[in-house]
Chains A and B, each alone.
Chain A
Amino acid sequence: MAKKKWRGFFWILPSFSGVAAFYLLPYADVVRRSFLGAVDNRFAGISNYQAIMGNTAFRLAVRNTIKFTLSCIPVLILLALACAVALCRSKYGGVIKSAFLMPMALPAVSVALVWRLLFHSQGLLNYWLEHLGLAGQDWMNGKSAFWILVLSYIWKNLGYDIVLWMAGLAGISENIYEAAKVDGAGEWKCFLHITLPNLKPSFYTITVLSFLNSFKVFREAYLVAGDYPHESIYMMQHLFNNWFRNFSFDKMAAAAVVESVVLLGLILLLQKTWDSGAE
């Protein structure tokens, strides 16, 4: 009986042993380090945690990361939904969808190359603006850097999210719509009362995946603007990177633990909303 109980676990075992070796073990090490000094490994209690809470760079990074996540994810999800609804009924939808998907396959290094040429103070964007009679600016070195990052995230992930939404839309049975239409419901009403509720499960997956991808813009930000970009796009990863380079493993470990706890909270919260939606 006990064997049967753990039967499922055997399927996980190969994967889990790898995960344990390459992720959990290092994570345990991070947790350990968060209570130790950086290089001397002396026990430091919770002083590392106290240090990061008072650290202005840490606060800035947290603020920026939250701000970024909150601005780009809703915009992306809604925009993708709108596009998906528009595209799913058309026979040319496939072509346009493929166009949207293209950026996802573009390597980060290439994206950074294009970004650099576009948003340089003497770059293409300013050239176009000048033709329109507008004054350009040094895009990556001002507040605009943040919005460029948001745009770049949306640009890269829009196709992905559209595909996700479209798959969700395709899963909704036509019968429901027909029934509603027989009852005299209009397009808009159908959308509100049939489409949206039925998309709720998709919403969970899309949010998680969008969230996951939001961490990846760091690659482009780092390749374009380096270790110390404009303060508006100074993210957690910049901070981690710099701490790492400067041997501040104490603070880095503490911040990593804090971040994973926050992630745990977020996932639990999302799951709860999802579970309640599914029932």
Chain B
Amino acid sequence: MKYGKLKRTAGILLSAVLLLGSLAGCSGKENVEPGASPQGNGNSTEGEGGEQAMGRFLEDDVKLPIVFSDIFDMRKLEDGTIRVIGNNGDDGSKTVWDSKDSGVNWEKAFDIPAELEDGENGYVDGAALSPNGQSVWLYNKVADGGVRCVLYLLDQNGSLAEVPFELPAAEGKNITSSSQPVNTSEDSGDGAEGDGSISSISNLVTDIMFLGNDQILVVDMTDKVFQISTEDGSTKRTYEFGATQEACQFYTAGKKMVVATSTEALVYDTETGEQMPTEEALQGSVADSGFFNAVDSTDDGESIYYLTGKGLFHYKFGGSVMEQLIDGSMNSLGAPAFYPIALAMLDEQNLLVAANDENAEAAGGVSLLKYTWSADTPAKPDKELKVYSLYNNRELRQAISNFQKDHTDIYVNYQAAMSEDNGMTVSDALKTLTTEIMAGKGPDLLVLDGMPIQNYMEKGILKDISAVLADGEGKYFENIIKAYQGDGGQAYAVPARFLIPMAQGSSANYTPGEDFDTFTSKQGVLSGMIPEATVEKFWYSCGAAWQKEDGTLDAGKITDWLTKLKNAYGEYDRLQEESSTTYGISDGGGAFTQFQELSLSWGDFDLAFGRYRVNVGLSGRIDYGQLSAVNEKLEQGDYGLMPGQAGNVFVPSMVLGISSKAAQPETAEEFVKYLLSPEAQKAAQFGGLPVERDSFLSVIDGHEYEGKDNWVSGGSAGANADERLSYKMEPTPKEEIEKMTAMAESLTVPALLDDVIKDAVIEQGTKVLKGEAAPEEAADAIMQKVNIYLAE
């Protein structure tokens, strides 16, 4: 009895604990909400209670006096002059320019001394400006099989003096230059590099910057920082960051040094050399908004302004809040190919940003932008256009940046469901999308790549947007843009881009235009390739042929396809797969896109160096120089359409559809129009070729190389690091342009884009190629899954 009582008491106690726990849990919830999304504009925080806060920074392009191929630094000097130092894009010379009127008019400050223009014995690798207009230049002198870093100081008027500083050898590291594990090295023939004369490098300066007017910070390749007096080159102090795993970026603000990684920001007082107490608020904001790209200070380091991919922020040291001044998602600051180099705060309401911008309108890829506070513009645009895609789409992000610049009343809220590494499956993402659309909270514009397009059209999820296309009659590849057009001319989905399944190989292995049966009858012609990717590529070129009238698949045709594919593939060799490289010349460096691993250039090296007999892949970007470089390595090499059962197939990409429940249908249509306009179409990265003819030509014709003497040299990584392909970047020959255009025009069949079928085919097809399953068996397994799917 006593025991029972005890138990009962325990029971009640337990329930009480549960209850308390839950209350505590729920009240804690309130604390999570604020601070999670730092919205709103700093300058307008007071008016936040009102219906519509006013005031926003607007972006403008600043016209630079010359074409810069590189900007080293930009600064607002003590006397109010804006000074920019960089490389002249026309002749590669170094140059310094001043503007006394915030960037409207520019004049050359002085001529650069000959020591810095000496391209024979070395090259300039960077430079930095001081508040009073001096500059320090890093000149890498190539001599005696090594590189010596020389620092030159130019005073305000351009007279040169060498800073007597000798960079000590890096501790514990001796790097040989040939082991550079990069697969892309685009270089404009800067001279000393590339002739292979450098045998060893003991250390290199990776970054330099001024600390006040008479000291500089020099960062070496082990992230050791030397605090040096410009007068006598003596090292006042050193700081070491080599132990941290993460890449560090270094900035100065007054006498403070800010060391930033992707997760933290450390601040040092350079007068004492001590690390300052951690700034909690700054730390928190770094975790939220990511890498610092550029830093500036207007009050001698009391506070800093900094740029990240999320926008411009301001932080006062010792303060408790970080304010966001510019939301990067509303302008270029958040664009994917935008890499800020320098930030110059002119005053609290005006600033300049110099950036490497792959999509800059100015040639050379460097752009200068001015941001000006506009008090009578709403802080947040009144119209919100929701754009949704499964996969991150760089072209789309770029287009959104540009579109918002011209439409300050529209805020484009873009969500890429799968971009974060959150373990979410496509199916989960689509389910969430479904609920949102049904609740009327869904996106206005859908980028349908990876979604069941056919099904969405049938269910009436999408709106007819044929009216949008009507204006552009004749400007597009009609064969492609009408991929989803119905008999009545209604268009529920419109591909804004496309990929061409292409093949390249020597005449013995591949003849452009040959059909699938002939191609696959050559036993082992596909040997050495990665099984999964091979199946997927041929699924694109063949899948559309398997569909019967009633929408089901033809099992016989699948068996036939698998049998032939296996014949062409030959024996599976695991070792070969593991050793082969899969990096292309020009696709490196970019962010991962949906089709990157399937691209033709992914297999360039394997084809050129004999590991593949034929290279096949989906081309979302055609680079003639690259194709010809590979062709030259082959015996009578040629390229053309990839053999397939379905005829001339193309893969629609960036397929646009407007939700039939869209809250902003007109704005969405306007945006679709913009996405199909030359301005947006030309910004091709890796997501596909433009459907707009003029843009298509401008993407393939290589006009940007006209009159230049640029070489591309690429090496592969991993086991085959000694392989190199080099070619000159030149305008594409006229007949090749015609050939490619004819190829694009010949495409008639959109590839079957059904992820459920695709997944089943890849899973089973891979087994066949690996020799783990017979074609009949695999076809049965595919049919079994697909039949359930189609019956639903």
Direct contact of A and B (CB under 8 A): yes
**Chain A interface residues toward B at CB < 8 A:** 38-40, 55-57, 60, 121, 141, 226-228, 230-231, 234, 239, 241-249
- Tell whether A38 pairs with B459 under 8 Å between CB atoms, given A242-B792, A246-B452: yes
- Tell whether A39 pairs with B460 under 8 Å between CB atoms, given A228-B788, A242-B792: yes
Partner of A56, one of B431, B785, B791: B791
Partner of A247, one of B434, B760, B785, B787: B434
C-alpha spacing A245/B772, complex, angstroms: 33
Give the nearest-CB partner of A243 in chain B: B792
- Tell whether A245 pairs with B434 under 8 Å between CB atoms, given A38-B459, A39-B459, A228-B756: yes
Could you tell me if A57 and B792 are in contact, using CB atoms closer than 8 angstroms? yes
**Chain B interface residues toward A at CB < 8 A:** 425, 427, 430-431, 434, 437-438, 452, 455-456, 459-461, 660, 756, 760, 772, 781, 784-785, 787-789, 791-792
Partner of A234, one of B455, B660, B788: B788
- Tell whether A231 pairs with B784 under 8 Å between CB atoms, given A39-B460, A245-B431, A247-B456: yes
C-alpha spacing A261/B463, complex, angstroms: 37
- Tell whether A228 pairs with B431 under 8 Å between CB atoms, given A246-B452, A247-B459: no
Partner of B756, one of A141, A227, A239: A227
Give the nearest-CB partner of B760 in chain A: A228
Could you tell me if B427 and A246 are in contact, using CB atoms closer than 8 angstroms? no
Partner of B461, one of A141, A226, A242, A247: A247
Could you tell me if A244 and B788 are in contact, using CB atoms closer than 8 angstroms? no
C-alpha spacing A67/B107, complex, angstroms: 84
Chain B contact residues: helix, strand, loop or mixed: helix
User: What are some 13 contacts across the A-B interface (CB < 8 A)?
Assistant: A55-B791, A56-B787, A121-B772, A228-B760, A228-B788, A231-B788, A243-B792, A244-B434, A245-B427, A245-B431, A246-B455, A247-B437, A247-B461
Could you tell me if A245 and B430 are in contact, using CB atoms closer than 8 angstroms? yes
C-alpha spacing A247/B460, complex, angstroms: 9
Known: A231-B784, A247-B459. 10 other contacts (CB 8 A): A38-B459, A57-B791, A226-B425, A228-B756, A228-B789, A231-B788, A234-B788, A241-B427, A247-B438, A247-B461
Give the nearest-CB partner of B425 in chain A: A226
C-alpha spacing A38/B660, complex, angstroms: 13
C-alpha spacing A153/B455, complex, angstroms: 34
Partner of B460, one of A40, A56, A244, A248: A40
C-alpha spacing A243/B785, complex, angstroms: 15
Give the nearest-CB partner of A38 in chain B: B459
C-alpha spacing A38/B661, complex, angstroms: 14
Residues of A within 8 A of B787 (CB): 56
What's the nearest-Cβ distance from chain A to residue B366, in Å?
46
Give the nearest-CB partner of B455 in chain A: A246
C-alpha spacing A40/B456, complex, angstroms: 13
Residues of A within 8 A of B455 (CB): 246-247
What's the nearest-Cβ distance from chain A to residue B232, in Å?
63
What's the nearest-Cβ distance from chain A to residue B599, in Å?
27
What's the nearest-Cβ distance from chain B to residue A170, in Å?
15
C-alpha spacing A39/B661, complex, angstroms: 10
What's the nearest-Cβ distance from chain B to residue A137, in Å?
11
Residues of A within 8 A of B434 (CB): 244-247
C-alpha spacing A231/B782, complex, angstroms: 11
Could you tell me if B788 and A39 are in contact, using CB atoms closer than 8 angstroms? no
Give the nearest-CB partner of B423 in chain A: A109
- Tell whether A246 pairs with B459 under 8 Å between CB atoms, given A141-B781, A226-B425, A228-B760: yes
C-alpha spacing A227/B425, complex, angstroms: 10
What's the nearest-Cβ distance from chain B to residue A27, in Å?
17
